[in-house]
Amino acid sequence: MEIRILGRDLEVSEIGFGCMGMSHAYGTVSTQKEAEELIEKAIDEGCTFFDTAEIYGTTEDPHHNEKLLGKVLRPYRNKIVLASKCGIRFDETATTVNKPLIPDGRPETIKASIEGSLMRLNTDHLDLYYIHRIDMTVPIEETAGAMKELMEQGKITHWGLSEASEEIIRRAHKVCPVTAIQNRYSMMYRDYEKLFPVLEELKIGFVAFSPLANGLLTAAYHSHGEFEKPGDYRSAMPQFTEEGLKENNEFMSWMKVIAEEKNATPAQISLAWMLAKKPYIVPIPGTRNLKRLTENIQAESIHLSVEEVTEIDDMLEHIPMSQVFGGSKVKK
């Protein structure tokens, strides 16, 4: 697989692996054996970039994902780029499926979090460490300063921001150069394209989470009843309601036509489009299916011309589609 550069010098595979779904938000968690098979296959296919977070888990085991990856990735640690995140917790008093997030960007929280993540992930450093959401009660300069300290101590080598605005990115970057932002981005959620100019100016990479709109763009789902309740967040996402699925019929039919023309799948077209948009974009689709994993990674062999990308962009501006899940509510 080709390599892309995040920031000034962080080399990653051009398609990464978002590991959240093994432990959080998509129903029953993966077993260690299932995770081992997925990780081994991903590495065999050329994937070097793996993404987790301290809050990816269950009510019973809130750090399940980091602990799972700590066991599974250990044999490959010197061959991969490992990213995690800190700075939020769930509002456990909420009764909704996707509980609201409570940001905490205090330096003392970040410094405590990195110790827990390093222990659970069985490593002495992280290659990329994000603040998971922006805490508007803490100046971003203080958060960035804490990350700078962690870099000086060798506990992390690069840092980033998730779901950040241009103002926050600029202020953080002045304190400690930002390597990457990780924001939601897909054919159905393009709000953050407005950040492209500042990312290019400051030489910051864009790691795209939910690049397949939580799975809708795989064209594999046709009924709202397919999702586990209450553990699967998709049961509450607008694009997967019966109404949402109907609203997306024309869009998905159009995607299938494009895919057939390229001898590809809709998911592969979605990822290929993203890779063609900018050389610093790295999507991190997640899956628990070996066949789907191979399908995602093979998207890197599908090339779209500038003209084809422009045609797709134009169509995305006009074709009807539903609302798409924009993330768990963040408490102010």
Q: What is the pLDDT along the chain (332 residues), one digit of tens a residue?
A: 999 999 999 999 999 999 988 886 666 788 889 999 999 999 999 999 999 999 998 878 889 999 999 999 999 999 999 999 999 987 766 656 566 788 999 999 999 999 999 999 999 999 999 999 999 999 999 999 999 999 999 999 999 999 999 999 999 999 999 999 999 999 999 999 999 999 999 999 999 999 998 778 886 666 555 655 556 666 667 676 777 777 888 888 999 999 999 999 999 999 999 999 999 999 999 998 999 999 999 999 999 999 999 999 999 999 888 877 664 444 44
Q: What are phi and psi of 146, to 5 degrees?
A: -65, -40
Give residue 300's identity as a one-letter amino acid code.
Answer: E
User: How confident is the model at residue 328, as a pLDDT?
Assistant: 44
Other residues' Cβ atoms within 10 Å of the Cβ of residue 231: 16
Please, what is the Cα angle at 13 between 10 and 18, to 5 degrees? 100
Please, what is the Cα angle at 61 between 129 and 212, to 5 degrees? 55
Domains of the chain in start order, with CATH, are 3-214+278-303 (3.20.20.100)
Beta strand residue intervals within 31-125, DSSP E: 49-51, 81-86, 88-90, 101-103
In sequence order, which ranges of 48-189 are alpha helices (DSSP H)? 64-72, 107-120, 140-152, 166-175
Question: What residues are paired with 5 via a beta bridge?
Answer: 11
The whole-angstrom separation of Cα 142 and Cα 164 is 15
Contact 149, 285 (CB under 8 A): no
Where is 262: in which H helix or E strand?
none
The closest of 250, 272, 261 to 316, measured between CA atoms, is: 250
Q: Which residue has the tokens 């990308």?
A: 309
Q: Which residues contact 201 (CB under 8 A, 6 or more apart)?
A: none
The closest of 125, 124, 128, 115 to 7, measured between CA atoms, is: 128
CA dihedral 34→100→326→218, nearest 10 degrees, is: 20
Catalytically annotated residues: 56
Contact 100, 327 (CB under 8 A): no
Residue 154 burial (10 A CB sphere; 0-12, 13-18, 19+): exposed
User: How confident is the model at residue 270, as a pLDDT?
Assistant: 96
User: How confident is the model at residue 330, as a pLDDT?
Assistant: 45
User: Which tokens go with 46?
Assistant: 């050329």
DSSP, residue by residue, 126-162 = BSEEEESS--TTS-HHHHHHHHHHHHHTTSBS-EEEE
Q: How many residues does the chain have?
A: 332
Question: What residues are paired with 129 via a beta bridge?
Answer: 84, 159
